[in-house]
Amino acid sequence: MNPSILTTRVMEALAAGRKALIPFLPGGFPDKDRFFDELDALDAGGADIIEIGVPFSDPVADGPVVERASLSCLLNGTCLSWLLGELSRRKGRYKAGLVLMGYYNPFLQYGLEALAADAAEAGVAGFIVPDLPLEEAGPMAEALGTHGLDLIPLVGLNTSEERLAAYAKNARGFVYFVSVLGTTGMRETLPAEIVERLKVVRRLFGVPVALGFGIKSPEQLTAFGDLVDAVVFGSALIAHIEDGGTAASFMERWRG
C-alpha cells in the first residue's frame, strides 16, 4: 500500500517545527455554499489535515455545538452523496489531507466498496468512524485499503493497553486520542491522566498521535510536549463561525 497522505502531512508539519493542525467542520456548515469558502480558508490558513463531518441524525459522540451544527446541515439537505460529489468536483484543490468523520450507518447504507471508490475519486484520504468498534471494522478497513484510504483508529483514556496494541497493529494515517470521557466540546481543562496514557499510546503506535475532543486553545497543548504530533479542534471553530467569525481568522491564532 502507498505511504499514507495523512501521515505525510503530519510529518511535514513536525519537520517545520510545529504540531499538525486538524480542524473539523461539518459538511455543509454554515450553509452549503459558504462551506466550501470556509474549507478553502482552512486549507489556505495552514490546516495540514481537514476533518469533514458527515451529518447524521444520531451523533452519539458529538457535544451540543457539533450536534447543533450537524443537524442544521441535515435540514439544509446535506448528505453523503452531495458531499462526495462536490468534493470530486474540487479534487486536487486542497493541499491538506481530507478525512471524512461520520457514523457507520450512512457509510454502510452507501455501500462500502462504492464509498471507498467514490471517496478516493473525491480526493479523500481517510475516514474516522466513532461508532465502529475494532472487532467490526474489518470490512470497511479492507474496502478503504483497496483504494489506499486510511481508517483512523479512535482511542482514549479508557482503552486498555491490550486493546491499544490491537488497534496499533494495523494503524495507518494517525491515531486519534480522545482526551476526555464523553462527547466533543470545548473544555477549560483536560484530565491530568492524559499524559501517562499518551506515553503508552506513543510506545505502542508507529503512526503520529493526534489529540482531540475538548481542545479550545493552543495553550492547552503545552502540557503534552512531544507526546502529541497533531491537534484536532472542532467545537471552538464552529462556535467562532457561529459568532460571526471566519475560518481564516480562527486559523490565525493556531498558526501562531
Q: Return the pLDDT at 118.
A: 98
Q: How large is the average pLDDT for residues 25-38?
A: 91
pLDDT tens digits for range 120-144: 999 999 999 999 999 999 999 999 9
pLDDT tens digits for range 212-221: 877 777 777 7
SS3 track for 5-51: HHHHHHHHHHHCCCCEEEEEEECCCCCHHHHHHHHHHHHHCCCCEEE
**Predicted confidence (pLDDT) at residue 29 exceeds the cutoff of 80:** yes
Q: Return the pLDDT at 41.
A: 96
Q: How large is the average pLDDT for residues 69-83?
A: 78
All structural domains of the chain, each given as residue ranges with its CATH number in brackets, are: 19-154+226-255 (3.20.20.70)
Q: pTM of the full predicted structure?
A: 0.90
Catalytic residue IDs: 51, 62
